[in-house]
Amino acid sequence: MNDRILLIQTFKPVGMGGPRPPLELLYIFSAVTMKFRDKYRMTIIDTGLYNNDMRAIERLIRSFAPGAVIFSSRIWEADILHRLAGLVKTIDDNTLNIVTGELPALAGKAVFEDANIDFSIRGEPEKRILSLLENPESLHQHGILSRHDRETEYPAEEYFIYDLDNYPILPDAWEQVDIKAYSGFSNWNGALKRRLFLPILSSRGCPYDCYYCCYSRTYGKTFRSRSPENVVEEIALLSARYNVKEFHFYDAVFNHDINRAKEICRLIIGSGMDISLAFPHGIRADCMDDELIYLLRKAGTYKLFFGIETASQRLQSVINKNLDIRSLDAVIEKTSASGIITGGYFMLGFPGETPDEMKDTAAFAKRSSLDLAFFFKVTHFDELVKKYDAYYTLLYDTGKDSGFDDFSYFSIGRAIPGMAPGALDRTILSAQKDFYLDAGRLFRLFMKTSNKPGFFINLFKLAALILQSVLLAAVLKGRPEADE
């Protein structure tokens, strides 16, 4: 292996939201730099910034001539990963292909259907990458799966990072990222308030055990956080160095430790920084109080989303989300009344969910004070991984799109067994239409939005998406397979 390491973030558009700066790879880049200083030359490629143009990406790979390629991939990006892994080996069969991220955390050894994959890292990657580079002859000791491992196990606790303050993203690592390019994409947050944004990860791990969520498989169930001072120092440094005034928190449960969340806000307020904050990944509604709402707003928060999922108290228990539905209205109302654009994430199609329960969830969203709502299709990844082999075979037998995007929350024609996919698609579309066909809600959102041009652009995109879905539903209606 030579001294050049190429880090590739795969991206596949499956719904709303474009590519965002690759935090996981930036953390790996920084960890390797701190451990080995100038021993390795590294660079980062995001396939989303190249519109997955394989010819352009091939030229970059050939030009850099890496000894190892580290991929970070979501499970629905598997076809891109496999194509690129094959391309890397075609260029130089001695190059090591290493896969990290959500994909190996969920799919495990299924990725080794591809003989071009050498190693798979399940769980937090930094310590494993350092171990691999430090002692590549005894990889089995470092929690790294190779093609020759007989069993797939989740990573031991020792490989998770508890002293997060000592594993930062180095300021120089951001030189690998085209900040302006990322800010030009529509993303999960919708219209930006400022010209540029950067993502922040202030904690890792999630102590909750929600039925549909795969986050803890990568980052564990133990909540581990950076100190408030460390978080605010990073924001201040990035703001000063790159003139970025907007930051998006991508924590799984930013407010799990509510006192820590408040202290971060207080430090931002005390710093006098003129910045804007958003929480597109979603936060817990049951970890909010009046003081936190006030501090979030005063610290610059202009948009946040609550992960609500269902308005059925029965299903809240079944899926281990365990929100108290009765208390949600007050939290949503107070957050929205503070001036924060308030969104909600919902899912439809849980096992055993009745049509009336789906209607209740849609009705809850519509009558609430939410400014935004998104209705996703329930996805149980363990069931989908069983299809991995078939999709991989299709990819290499035909060379066409394999269907891995069927693993995403936006899949059409898929539902939990026992539920008609076509009927579920129409239910989701109906919920989305009913929520947004509300002049009062749209006017309130318009008044809250600072970026007025962005508001109209996103409104147009939403209308186009709904129209597209209506037309698709009309095409599928009457097809027997759509309702099976």
Let me know: does 44 contact 22? Beta carbons within 8 Å.
Answer: yes
Q: Which of 249, 327, 320 is nearest to 286 (CA)?
A: 327
Residue 61: the pLDDT is 98
User: Residue 10 corresponds to which amino acid?
Assistant: T
Binned at pLDDT 50, 70 and 90, residue 398 comes out as confident
**Secondary structure (3-state) at 369:** coil
Please give the pLDDT value at position 150: 45
pLDDT at 336 over 90: yes
User: 130 vs 104, 121, 156, CA distance in Å?
Assistant: 18, 12, 16
Q: What is the mean pLDDT of residues 375-379?
A: 88
- pLDDT-derived band at 383 (thresholds 50, 70, 90) equals confident
Distance CA 60, CA 63 (A): 5
In 157-245, where do the E strands start and end? Answer: 198-200, 203-204, 224-225
In the predicted structure, residue 38 carries a pLDDT above the cut 60: yes
DSSP assigned state of 138: G
* Average pLDDT of the segment spanning 15-29: 91
Question: Of all residues in the chain, what percent are helix, strand and coil, respectively (each to 5)?
Answer: 50, 15, 35
pTM: 0.91
What are the tens digits of pLDDT across the range 459-470?
Answer: 776 666 666 555
Percentage above 70 pLDDT, the chain: 88
Query: Can you give the pLDDT at residue 481?
Result: 47
Provide the β-strand partners of residue 347. Answer: 376
- The highest-confidence range among 19-28, 440-449, 450-459, by mean pLDDT, is 19-28
pLDDT computed for residue 80 by the predictor: 93
Helices 258-271, 290-299: axis angle to 10 degrees equals 30
Residue 361 pLDDT > 50:
yes
Segment 93-104 shows an average pLDDT of: 92
The predicted model gives 409-435 an average pLDDT of: 83
Residue with more model confidence, 384 or 221: 221
Paired residues of 481 in beta bridges: none
CATH topology (fold) of 4-152: Rossmann fold (3.40.50)
Query: Residue 263 above 80 pLDDT?
Result: yes
Instruction: Output the pLDDT for position 472.
Output: 54
Q: Is the pLDDT of residue 254 over 50?
A: yes
Specify the CATH number of the domain 190-378+416-476.
Answer: 3.20.20.70
- Which residue ranges make up each domain of the chain? 4-152, 190-378+416-476
Q: How far apart are CA 377 and CA 360, in angstroms?
A: 16
Predicted confidence (pLDDT) at residue 139 exceeds the cutoff of 60: no
Out of 146-150, 253-257, 348-352, 430-434, the most confident range is 253-257
* Phi, psi dihedrals of residue 65, rounded to the nearest 5°: 50, 65
pLDDT for the residue numbered 24: 96
Ranges 11-20, 90-99, 284-293, 357-366: which has the least confidence: 11-20
Q: What is the per-residue pLDDT for 403?
A: 72
Average pLDDT, the chain: 87
The sign of the CA dihedral 343, 349, 353, 355 is positive
pLDDT exceeds 60 at position 41 = yes
What's the confidence (pLDDT) of residue 420? 81
45 closest CA partner among 22, 75, 17, 13? 22
User: Which pairing describes strands 224-225 and 203-204: parallel, antiparallel, or unpaired?
Assistant: antiparallel
Q: Are 58 and 87 in contact (CB under 8 A)?
A: yes
Per the DSSP assignment, residues forming a β-bridge with 283 are 306
Q: Cα 317–321–325 angle (5° rounding)?
A: 75
Residue 94: pLDDT band with limits 50, 70, 90: very high
Kindly state the helix (H) or strand (E) to which residue 305 belongs, with its residue range: strand 301-309
